[in-house]
Amino acid sequence: MDILTHVGVGCALAAPLWAEHPVVAASFLLGNALPDADVLARLGGKRAFLAAHQTLSHGAPTAALLGLVWAWGLGALGLEEGAWAAGVALSAGMILHATLDWTNTFGVTLAAPLSWRRRCAEWIFFIDAGAIALTLGALAWIVARWPSPGGWPSGIYAASMGAWWLCRAALRRRAARRAPEGTITLVPSAWHPLRFYGVAEAEGAVELFTLRLGRGVERRRRVLVYDAEFIRALEKVPEWRAMRRLSPAYHAVEVERAEAHETWLTCRDLRTRNFRSTRYGELRVRLQHGEAASWTLRI
């Protein structure tokens, strides 16, 4: 999920604790935001960011360790009372963040550093209108009752969000049963709960389609892919390998032969179609004599 929604979730759930246990509440809120500190990996360049994003900082072992360190640090600063509760709250916030991200579409390494395998459930897109509406509504209710919001707003919010996630999970399973044979990914719409954007494998190509529950498959489009033709050169490009690990539908989709011995390839992630204008993950590779001479990646 986006960082603003994560922070909103933390604020809404921690609200009953602020009056009597502010350190615990602040720790839970911090835990909901902390995993996305991996964005700082951008300072090390694109490769470092691709390698770090939603990996170690989203692992349950990391959350447990940081919770212990946080509790020890608060105790060392003289805040012994509630220090361990604050450590547990920090870990719980981080695990909640990672779990919500697991239900999204890009994959997280929940067991890192014990396992670096990325997993995702594709229940919900990382920006979701329903989740945002519920969070904003809860925050408005809490602010209206401040400084004594009580537990009702947070409790009803938690139940509503849980029900929304279970509903999206059920819709995703139903959509999977109606998807064409060979479907490798089925991404939910950010705005329409009954709409999904799918990718199915085909010989020398992939098929893009939109599936709407109640109407079936529509808007089919066949896209030629050129991975096999240029795979020897592409596998030498680190960014290509990284993006392939992130997405099962990342392909070379355009070929431009500029000169006799020069070719340009354009590679894109064909899964994410919620935003029509996005070019995130687009890789441009210049080949000379069949070898990768230079490349640029948009992230």
Summary mean pLDDT of the chain? 94
pLDDT interval class at 280 (50, 70, 90): confident
Q: Residue 279: which residues within 8 A CB-CB, separation 6 or more?
A: 268, 298
Mean pLDDT, residues 78-101 taken together: 95
- The CA-atom distances, in angstroms, between 295 and each of 229, 250, 281, 290 are 18, 16, 12, 14
Global pTM? Answer: 0.93
Mean pLDDT, residues 18-46 taken together: 95
pLDDT above 90 for 261: no
For residue 106, the model assigns a pLDDT of: 84
pLDDT above 90 for 14: yes
Q: What is the pLDDT of residues 128-173, one digit of tens each?
A: 999 999 999 999 999 999 999 999 999 999 999 999 999 999 999 9
Burial of residue 221, with CB atoms counted within 10 A of its CB: 0-12 exposed, 13-18 middle, 19 or more buried: exposed
Q: Residue 253's Cα: distance from chain center in Å?
A: 24
Structure token pair of residue 42? 């951008």
Shortest CA distance to 97 belongs to which of 19, 45, 37, 49? 37
